[in-house]
Amino acid sequence: MFLNTANLPKLTLFFDGKCPLCQAEIVFLSRRNQAGLLGFVDINSDLYDERAVGVSCSQALAEMYGQFDHGLVIKGHAVFGEAYRRAGLPRLAWIMSRKTLAPLLALGYRFFAKHRHRISKLLGPTALWLVGGKGSK
């Protein structure tokens, strides 16, 4: 299952840098970003400009958002499908882009977003360790 990434626009992911599981996902994706098609901005940093993106920090904390270089903003599980496509993970991209799975994926991500800090306390350190991210030993 090969995906041609030659004509894909760059996608910037807006993530919660205070969430260890979110950090682990970003470390994982950044290590697979050989084509340079992904960018990453912590919404808690000065680099995040909610006016330029058109998404408030509270909105970005409630749901995953990404923005293509040409300006289009996408949200929810679709962001992961596009990110995995750019990271050379065609199977994950395929799963995340299935319309039949969309309601389940959306529900799952909303649950995660709402409870990510509690979930991260349990799973975050291990996830960061597995990807060799900051804070891993």
Nearest one of 91, 63, 88, 89 to 78, comparing CA atoms: 63
Nearest one of 12, 16, 70 to 40, comparing CA atoms: 12
| pLDDT (tens digit per residue) in 68-107 | 999 999 998 889 999 999 999 999 999 998 889 989 988 8
Q: Under a CB-based contact definition with an 8 Å cutoff, are residues 130 and 24 in contact?
A: yes
- List the 38-42 sheet strands across, edge first: 38-42, 11-15, 65-68, 73-75
Alpha-carbon radius of gyration of the chain: 14
- The stretches in the chain having pLDDT less than 50 are 1, 136-137
Helix, strand or coil, per DSSP, at residue 50 = helix
Residue-range domain boundaries for the chain: 11-131
